[in-house]
Amino acid sequence: MKTDKKQAKEVSVSCNDPNCPFHGSLKLRGRTFSGTVTSAKMHRTIVVEWFRLFPLPKYERSEKRKTKIKAHLPDCIKVKEGDKITIKECRKLSKTKAFCVIKNESTQS
DSSP, collapsed to helix, strand or coil, labels residue 79 as coil
Q: Tell me whether residue 2 or residue 66 sits nearer to Zn ion (CB atom).
A: 2
Binding part of the chain for Zn ion, among 14-22, 35-43, 52-60, 88-96 by CB under 5 A, reads 14-22
26 is a contact residue toward Zn ion (CB under 5 A): no
Of 28-47, binders to Zn ion (CB under 5 A) are none
Number of neighbours of residue 79 by Cβ within 10 angstroms: 18
Site string for Zn ion, 63-102 (x = CB under 5 A): -----------x-x--------------------------
Pairing of the two strands 61-72 and 97-104: parallel
User: How far from 68 is each of 26, 35, 52, 72, CA to CA, in Å?
Assistant: 22, 9, 11, 14
